Amino acid sequence: MRIGVTVFPGSNCDRDALYAIERTGAAPVELWHADADLKGVDAVVVPGGFSYGDYLRPGAIARFSKVMKPLEDFAKGGGPVLGVCNGFQVLTEAHLLPGALLRNVGMRFVCTRVPARVETAKTPWTSLFESGDRLTLPVAHNEGNYFADERTLRELEDEERVVLRYLDNPNGSLNDIAGICNAARNVVGLMPHPERVSEEALGSDEGLKVFESVLSFAGVRV
């Protein structure tokens, strides 16, 4: 299985994502922002960082990159897409996911590890988890405060599209939302960084399961 990682100018978790993917046994593929080509990958990770310097708004400029057009087609065709941190912000800006990520209510950048709960296993990126699983995951962001209008929030909850929920909310996110998926469930956005806890040498490998899930979902034995 080949998993692509988009690289925008200013992405800075791209190498970390490529490394974590390699550890699952899948082939990591770098997808350069200026190439309108997904190189035939089976899944795509939009990594964290500060694409285009977060200028204007996080993710607001990256969504117009050349690589985004085939990515949007891939997502609309049901291909598994995961946005992590800035990647989540890019996916909301591209309207592949609803809502927006606002400035943290503490008005400062927050880098810490937070307890969170997996709310649904029914996505390609959580298929190996069970709903209710507790994880401790790193967050590192300025704008992780999830916001959506009431109707959207209700839809997300009713359709079990909240994928991950904070047990100790670090940013003021509505309904303690740490991650969501689209209606078709193939596109997932997470504020926490699973790639940062993908091996015991870093204190925990709980996050690797996110990448292993997409392999398992695609029928690859993990």
Partner 1 sequence: MNVQETYTALGLSDFEYDRILELMGRAPNYLELSLFSVMWSEHCGYKNSRPLLKQFPNAGSRVLQGPGENAGVIEVGDGWALVFKMESHNHPSAVEPYEGAATGVGGIIRDVLAMGARPVALLDSLRLGPLEDERNRYLFREVVRGIGGYGNAIGVPTVGGEVEFAPAYSGNPLVNAMCIGLVRADDFLRARAVGEGNLVILFGAKTGRDGIHGATFASDELSEESEEKRPNVQVGDPFAGKMLVECSLNLLEKDLLVSLQDLGAAGITSSASEMAAKGGVGIEIDADLVPLREEGMQPWEIVISESQERMLAIVEPEKAEEVLCVAERFELAAAVIGRVSGHGDLLIRHEGEVAGTVSARHLADAPVYEREVVPPVYLEKAREPDLEKIPKPEDHGSALLAMLAHPNLCSRRSVYEQYDHEVGTDTVVLPGADAAVMRIKGTSIGFAATVDCRGRYCYLDPKGGGAAAVAEAYRNLSCVGAEPVALTDCLNFGSPEKADAYYQFASCIEGMAEACEVLGTPVVSGNVSLYNENEGEAVYPTPAVGMVGVFDDVGRMATPGIKREGDALVLVGDFRPALGGSEYLEVVHGRVVGAPAVPDLTSEKAVSDAVRRAISSGLVNTAHDLSGGGLAVALAEMSLMGSIGVEAQLPLPGVRQDVALFGEVGGCILLAVPEEKLGKLEAILEGVHHTQIGHTGGERLKVSGSVDLGLDELRAAYERDLFERHAPEGGHLG
Residues within the interface to partner 1 (CB under 8 A): 9-10, 12-13, 15-16, 19-20, 34, 48-50, 52-55, 104-112, 138, 140, 142, 168-172, 193, 195-196, 198, 201-203
- Closer Cβ to partner 1, 112 or 131, answer by number: 112
Rounded to a whole number of angstroms, the minimum distance from the CB of residue 64 to partner 1 is 14
**What token pair was written down for 133?**
């699983």
**Which residues, including other chains, have CB under 8 Å from residue 46's CB and lie 6 or more apart?**
5, 6, 71, 81, 82, 83, 84, 86, 87, 88, 90, 91
Q: Which of 88, 65, 69 is nearest to 8 (CA)?
A: 65
- Closer Cβ to partner 1, 52 or 125, answer by number: 52
Rounded to a whole number of angstroms, the minimum distance from the CB of residue 211 to partner 1 is 13
Q: What is the DSSP letter of 123?
A: S
Rounded to a whole number of angstroms, the minimum distance from the CB of residue 139 to partner 1 is 10
- Closer Cβ to partner 1, 3 or 75, answer by number: 3
Tell me which residues are annotated as active site: 85, 193, 195
**Residue 13: C-alpha distances to residues 16, 71, 88, 187 (Å):** 5, 18, 13, 19
Q: With b meaning 16 or more CB within 10 Å and e meaning fewer, what string describes 173-211?
A: bbbbbbbbbbeebbbbbbbbbbbbbbeeeeebbbbbbbb
- Closer Cβ to partner 1, 75 or 114, answer by number: 114
- Closer Cβ to partner 1, 58 or 98, answer by number: 58
**What token pair was written down for 167?**
């047990």
Q: Which of 18, 21, 17, 12 is nearest to 58 (CA)?
A: 12
Contact 128, 216 (CB under 8 A): yes
